[in-house]
Structure formats: structure tokens, C-alpha cells
Amino acid sequence: MLRNWLTRWRLCAAATASISTALVACSDGTNPTNSAAARVDYVDGAIEPILVPGQLAVIEGFGFDSVSGTVTLRGSSGAEVTALVDAASWTNFSARITVPAGAAAGPLTLTTAGGRQLTATVHILPRPAFSTAALTWQARPNFPRAPVGVALAPAELPTSAGWGVTLYAAGGAEPVSGDSAFNADSSVYVVKADPAGVVGAWTRQSSVLPARRAFAAAAVATRYNSRASGMALYVIGGIDTTGRAQATVLAADLTSDGVASVFVPIEPLPAPIAGAIAVVRRGRVYVMGGTDSAGRPQRSVYVGRVGLDGRIDGWYVQPDLPAPRAYGGGIVLNGRALVFGGLSDSTGPGGELDVATPRLATTDTARLSPVSGFFTGSWGPGTALLPAGRSQFATLDLADVVLLIGGLYPGGTAEVLAATVNGDSLGPFAGPVGSNTIAGLGGGTLIGPAGAAWRDADGTRHGVVLGGFDLATRLRRNGVWGF
């Protein structure tokens, strides 16, 4: 997929004067939006989305008519169930629905006011509540190395056999002198998760990053979370071997078993970024904040949409954050983005371990369009959701609950904080939560771990955190802990 795009781009660029001209001239005509025929192109930004009951979903396509129609899904009992339609937002190109209770995997049918029926395939998972009181950490097989700043991303994959989850880990760094000098890595590892959330042994891939990176962001695109017809891993920004942030975005084709192609550079970010907050939602990749090549936290926000060929269709500059922010956390809800915590002062790679450096407890928030994915207004300061300044933590978005794990913060006892999601609102983080701790399992007080969350076929949420520094010993860890 990416290799084919790179070959087309090279051939076309040789015969045209600019990249923009090349991309138009070399279009292979596979994008369904090139056709004027009535159709459903995407649901919730994906070719075959994974949905849950009660979720807001956006249907995109053409020929929906300007007057609201109806949307039905296959029901678990066999009969169709009708979705709640937001009639006021219905257009000829998009419709917003709430996925009904009792919906099951199969066809989604949009019936226009004129009686035309348009269909798409959707996958439905149950939506069990996540109990923070029952959160129990368990040690998983160690990571092969002992890095910090690993880029980690999961892929949820409906399969003919039922359901599969694969985790992809790229880059990272091992300190070579104190807390601020790092030897960045180019290794890429893959592991599968079983239905109980247990991950096995990590497998090093023969295809590695063409350049060493640490403190980069990672994202995986599939037909189930984006417009990509295949699978791709993106490693976004990060520091190189000199400790300076880079603007590169490196991508490779994937299978559920591993990396299937060499990594190639695709559309770079508009500016060098490391330690950014990166979120994938509705086929878009959101990159917020981070440090520049001199270690200064930034206000920049970029949005890129995943295309059919696996590349990003450009990084679009969005409204700046109200203040600089790096090594914090963030989420994208139905129509709102939030960022919280992090650092606002200049720092070394990874945020360093200086407890005297002020950390942010503040939250910034902005509205965005569920249809376009772009922001619809400026960012503004929200309620401070953290009980104290905190940075260099892992953020796990579990849909109804958001967890913050580890990080640098006063006291060092609230290892895990939790906040409740209610529609487009996020409640305050409080804790500690859970029935045990990573520290109690010998993991220490983790600073800068990587984190990832995913679902089982029954909707049960799982997560892992990987690596990081132990604040007490100031030594890196190669442990992996999950639930």
C-alpha cells in the first residue's frame, strides 16, 4: 500500500513541477469520493467501523437528500433496529446517529427521504462499564530492552475467527549519561494480546525505522478506524540521536502478525515535534503540543486524515493551544478535544526528572466538527482537572473512563488517577484508584511510560504500560504491566 504510493509519487514527481500537481496527476481513481453516485463512503471515519451502543456515529457519503431519512442496523435478535437520527444535522453528504441498543454486526442501511437505500458494513461491540475499583495490575512479559520514550499503538481487528488485537512498539531510547542524554533506537516490536488482555513475548521485526527515534507518537490505521484500505503504522516526530526533535513521519504497511514493508517517510509535520499528545479519532490523527528542536514546549495543533493508500492527506494547522504544553495527555471526544497536564517550561528530551520543574494541572479545551474533524473555534482554558501538576504519564482512554498512570507529580503516591467521560465532558481526575499498584509489583514510580488500551470481542477494556524511569532509583525499566 505505502510502497505502491511511494513508487507512484516518485514517477509522477519526475514529470511534474510540484508535489501538489504530482498528487493530482497521479491519482489512481480509487477514492470513492471521486464518484458522483449515491453511496455511503465511511461510517465514523472508517470503511468498516467498530461501534458500540449509545455512541454518536457520523455517516459520510453522497446522495442522502437534504431532508432527514432513517438509519437501521441489524439487531441481535435478527430483526432490524432503528438508530436515533439527528435530523437537524442531516445533509446530502452526512448524517449523525446514535447507535441503538441491541444493534449487532452487519449492514447499516441509510434510507433517504426519497426511498433510496444505501448500505455499509459495521462491527458492533458491547459496552460494559469499566470498574476503576476492580482495576488490578498484573506483570506481563518484559520488553526486550529497557527503553523510555517508546512509541506504542494498538490495532483492534475483526477477523474471520472472531477478534484480534496486536500491539506495535517503535523506537525509544536508553540513557547514556544522566537524565538528559539518550541513545535513540530504531527497533520495532510486535506482540498479540489474548482475550484476557495478556500479552506474550515481544517479537523484533526485521523492518526497522530508517532513522532512530524516541519520544515520538505512534498511530495505527486500519479499515476499521480510518479510510485506509490496508493497515499502516505511523511514527510521528520524536527526537533523533542528537536529542533534537524532528518533523518526520515514518510509515510502514502492517499485518496482524507484524510489519510487512520497509518504513518510508510520508507527509512531514509542519514543524519538528517531540513529546506531543497524539490521538486517533474518526480516521484523523490529532497532534497537539510537544517540544521543538530546542526543547521548548509548543502551542501547535495539527490534524491529518488517513487516506485510502495509507498516507496522510496533509497536516492541517489548527488553532493554537492557549499556552505551551508538552509531555501531557489528551483525548478527543465526539465534538470536543481536551489536553491536560504536562510541562510549559523548556526541558530536555523526555521531560527530564527534575522534581523542581513546575508541572501543569490545567486543562485546555476546544470544539471540533464530528464531520470534518477540524476545530470550529479557538481553544480556551477549562476547569483544572488534575489535583496537582503532573507530566510524563501514560493516558489510557477507556471510552467511559480515562486513566492517567505514573508520571512526575507531588507526593508520588497517586499512581493511577481516573476521570469519567460523560458525552463531551470529562470529569476531574481523582485517585489513587485500583485494587493494587504497579509499584507494589516491583515496578517503582514510573516516569514516562508508554501506554495503550484496547477492547476484547465482548467489549471488555484492557491496557498496558511499558518502560519508563523509576523515580526512586533513576534507572530505566523494561517492565510491562497490564489489566
DSSP conformation letters of 107-121: EEEEE-TTS-EEEEE
Q: What pLDDT, on the 0 to 100 scale, is given for residue 303?
A: 98
DSSP state of 22: H
Mean pLDDT of the chain: 91
Residues 373, 318 contacting (CB under 8 angstroms): no
Q: Residues 6 or more apart from 8 whose CB is under 8 A from it?
A: 26, 28
Q: What's the predicted TM-score (pTM) here?
A: 0.91
Gap between the Cα atoms of 132 and 154, Å rounded: 21
Gap between the Cα atoms of 223 and 295, Å rounded: 36
User: Where does the chain hold its CATH 2.120.10.80 domain(s)?
Assistant: 138-482
Kindly state the helix (H) or strand (E) to which residue 20 belongs, with its residue range. helix 19-25
DSSP string, 47-89: SS-EE-TT-EEEEEEE---SS--EEEEEETTSSEEEPEE-GGG
Residue bearing the bigger pLDDT, 123 or 181: 123
Judged against a pLDDT cut of 70, whether residue 435 lies above it is answered with yes
Gap between the Cα atoms of 16 and 10, Å rounded: 10
383-419 per-position pLDDT tens digit = 999 999 999 999 999 999 999 999 999 987 899 999 9
Gap between the Cα atoms of 250 and 276, Å rounded: 16
Q: What pLDDT, on the 0 to 100 scale, is given for residue 162?
A: 85
**Which range (116-125, 168-177, 364-373) has the least confidence?**
168-177
Q: What pLDDT, on the 0 to 100 scale, is given for residue 161?
A: 78
CATH superfamily to which 32-124 belongs: Immunoglobulins (2.60.40.10)
Mean pLDDT of 372-387: 95
Task: Report residue 58 as a C-alpha cell.
Answer: 457520523
68-123 per-position pLDDT tens digit = 999 999 999 889 999 999 999 999 999 999 999 999 999 999 999 999 999 999 99
Q: What pLDDT, on the 0 to 100 scale, is given for residue 8?
A: 45
- Location of C-alpha cell 514546549: 297
Taking CA atoms, 44 is separated from 39, 47, 99, 304, 406, in Å, by 15, 9, 11, 15, 32
- Location of C-alpha cell 435530523: 87
Residues 26, 288 contacting (CB under 8 angstroms): no
Q: What pLDDT, on the 0 to 100 scale, is given for residue 353?
A: 87
Mode of pairing for the β-strands spanning 151-159 and 232-236: unpaired
Judged against a pLDDT cut of 70, whether residue 372 lies above it is answered with yes
Closest CA to 307 of 411, 403, 230, 419: 230
Mean pLDDT of 138-157: 94
Identity at 85, one-letter amino acid code? V
Judged against a pLDDT cut of 50, whether residue 37 lies above it is answered with yes
Mode of pairing for the β-strands spanning 117-124 and 50-51: parallel
DSSP string, 304-351: EEEPTTSSEEEEEE-PPPSS--BS-EEEE-SSEEEEE--B-S---GGG
Q: Residues 6 or more apart from 168 whose CB is under 8 A from it?
A: 152, 153, 154, 155, 188, 189, 190, 218, 220, 233, 254, 259
Beta strands of 368-410 (E only): which ranges?
380-382, 394-397, 401-405
DSSP state of 429: -
pLDDT above 90 as % of the chain: 83
**One CATH from 2.120.10.80, 3.30.70.330, 2.60.40.10, 3.30.479.30 for 138-482:** 2.120.10.80
Gap between the Cα atoms of 309 and 228, Å rounded: 6
Q: What pLDDT, on the 0 to 100 scale, is given for residue 166?
A: 97
Q: What pLDDT, on the 0 to 100 scale, is given for residue 160?
A: 79
Q: What pLDDT, on the 0 to 100 scale, is given for residue 174?
A: 80
